[in-house]
A = this chain, B = another copy of it.
Amino acid sequence: MADVAAEAHVSVKTVSRVVNHEPGVRPDTAERVRAVIERLGFRRHDGARLMRQGRTYTIALVVEDLANPFYSQVGAAVEREARIRQHQLITASAEGSPSRERAVIEALVSRRVDGIVVVPADESASSDAVLEASSTPIVYMDRPVRGTPRDTVLSDNHGGVRSAVEHLVAHGHRSIAFFGDDPAFWTARQRREAFVATHQGLGLPGTPRVSMGPHTPASVQETLRRWTDGLESVTAVITGNNRITLAVLLAQRELRLPLSLIGYDDFELAALIDPPVTVVHQDPAAMGQKAAQQLFARLLGDESPAQTVVMPTRLIVRASGVRRGVPTR
């Protein structure tokens, strides 16, 4: 900028005015400056500018794994909200490790990102102190953290599972089982609780049959065999996520079990499986958008108390939820 100023015989301040389209520069001066800028190939150094202004116009997204479709959809939505507002998005994976998450967040705070959206690795809010000290706005997604209330965007796990159970019951199922993910995950526990509560609430017979992860293809098969081997055979299964849906589909095919099935999370070819798979759809894009909007509201000065938003799920009815008769034994 100093070079441009010298070359155009004006002060740096005037160059700055031209670059930033500030008023109060004579058109011919501005034109002369612009010509020099063009000739020298000058570009404003945003780092310097932002340092002076104290804002980086950058937000960050911290997730477990960017390649996971759920997170990548969240990422796309957050990036979009950022771009609309002339912000950049830094994405970082914590690979499910709280310590790595903490390190990542500390690095982001050191960079003075304006705000962070994070899908926390656990409920410990391990970087709370750092964030508190730096007063960097943060929005949690998908899972809440303990301690001070924070802005949080969750999915309606309870409602999602309930809609699945009700759909199956409406189609005549009375013996429904649940395959959940590792109970180390908050969402997995939520869905399990929702299943048990709905099971009891609807007065279904017997004790709710539940199998929590981590699962292996072998363990899924074994469990399915057990559940379908006997007088009170299970007639329908609800899964706790995508991966488990896949495992159950495979096991079911292997064992030739005509079980009904409702998966958690939609997947691209759900309509092409035979029968097409009915699923509980969480809307990751909507969740990401909501989280970003909440974050930007804070950046714009919203000082209201931290709020938790629960996003609705939607049951996408295909065909796998209808009664398929008693399993062959």
Q: Which residues of B contact A134 (CB under 8 A)?
A: 41, 43
**Contact (Cβ within 8 A) B133 A41:** yes
Q: How far is the CA of A306 from the CA of B17 in the complex (A)?
A: 39
Which of A69, A111, A130, A134 has the most chain B CB within a 10 Å cutoff? A111
Given A72-B72, A79-B66, A269-B246, check contact A43 B93 (CB 8 Å). no
Q: Whose C-beta in chain B lies nearest to the C-beta of A288? A: B67
Q: Which residues of B contact A67 (CB under 8 A)?
A: 69, 72-73, 75-77, 285
Q: How far is the CA of A130 from the CA of B44 in the complex (A)?
A: 13
Chain A contact surface mostly: helix
> Which chain A residues (131-154) contact chain B, with CB distance < 8 Å?
133-134
Interface residue? A48 (CB, 8 A): yes
A109 in complex: contacting residue of B43, B106, B250, B272, CB < 8 Å: B43
Q: Which residues of B contact A92 (CB under 8 A)?
A: 79, 83, 88-89
Q: Which residues of B contact A93 (CB under 8 A)?
A: 76, 79-80, 83
Closest beta carbon of chain B to A59's beta carbon, Å: 11
> Which chain A residues (96-142) contact chain B, with CB distance < 8 Å?
104, 106-112, 130, 133-134
When A and B form their complex, which 5 residue pairs have the shortest distance between CB atoms, in order from nearest? Answer: A72-B72, A67-B76, A66-B76, A41-B133, A46-B110
| Contacts A/B (CB < 8 Å), 23 sampled | A44-B110, A45-B51, A45-B110, A46-B110, A46-B111, A66-B76, A67-B77, A69-B69, A71-B72, A72-B75, A75-B75, A75-B91, A79-B92, A80-B93, A83-B92, A88-B92, A89-B92, A91-B91, A246-B268, A253-B272, A267-B269, A268-B269, A273-B273
